[in-house]
Structure 1
């Protein structure tokens, strides 16, 4: 099992940060420009056990994702687990922590590569890709929420 963590501080209240992430329409806004995202489940409202279907395309390769909402603890936690994805296992914890007038956005991804030992050969690529993707996501989230004031 591999773990990837990205954390940022945003000048906003924790409820605004949580509400931004619970709104699936914002997925497209925070997705890097080299990736196309299509929400196949329309008007999705995250609730425990509900499943969101997404099609993402990167490097001209379409990937179907089905993610199940495992846990919601408003306003501090949202956990989703992939039922279908390019990974053997994928869990994404969206953690929101209040720090005075600031909020911390912390993404914790736990994953396993597919194809056993052969998949491990690509872990460096996946980690690099995750770093770029979550750097972008945190940057855009910060810009959007800090400019709402």
Structure 2
């Protein structure tokens, strides 16, 4: 079983409170997801994140195939970090940690995603040229969108 990791960091010239307010609102996920992925929240986004929260949405991650994705927020340390885990969706495993750290002039936002592709060896074969580039594209879009919204800390 091959488990992959994606890590992304971004420095923004905002306060920790501003970063937390934005990231802890599930409705903002749509803002930082590429439009071509047709991201739509079905339920569970009616309040800021909390441990045990279940969020259901539809998304088109690859090849135009619309997929239901169900996530659970498993851990929350207000203002510091939260963890979401895919309960149902396109991955065999999806464990996503979101960290916010105060740095001079703003915050560092860090994402660490551990994931496993489905379909065994076939999934592993397509990972380098299909799944990994798509995830990198999504996180680059998020980076650009957050910089557009909040500016970039150099």
Same fold (TM over 0.5): yes
| Matching residue within 44, 56, 61 for 2:59 | 56
Distance in 1 between residues matched to 2:47 and 2:118, nearest whole Å:
28
CA RMSD of aligned residues (A): 1.5
Query: Using the alignment, how far apart are the partners of 2:31 and 2:5 within structure 1?
Result: 25
Residue in structure 2 matched with residue 5 of structure 1 by the alignment: 7
What corresponds to 1:142 in structure 2?
Answer: 147
Larger proportion of strand: 1
Partner of 1:43: 46
* Residue segments in structure 1 that go unaligned for 5+ positions in a row: none
Whether the 8 Å contact between 1:78 and 1:95 is mirrored in structure 2 is yes
Distance 2:51 2:14 in 1: 26
Please say if 1:119 is aligned against 2:144. Answer: no
| Superposition TM-score, scaled by structure 1 size | 0.92
Off by >4 Å, runs of 4+ in structure 1: none
1:44: Cα distance to partner?
4.3
Instruction: Please tell me whether residue 90 in structure 1 is matched to residue 94 in structure 2.
Output: yes
Q: Aligned to 1:29, what secondary structure does the other structure show?
A: coil
Count of aligned pairs: 147
What runs of 5+ residues in structure 2 fail to find an aligned partner?
none
Cα distance in 1 between the residues matched to 2:101 and 2:131: 27
Match of 1:70 in 2: 74
Distance 1:122 1:44 in 2: 37
Q: Deviations over 1:60-100 (max 9, x none)?
A: 31011100001111111010000001111001111111102
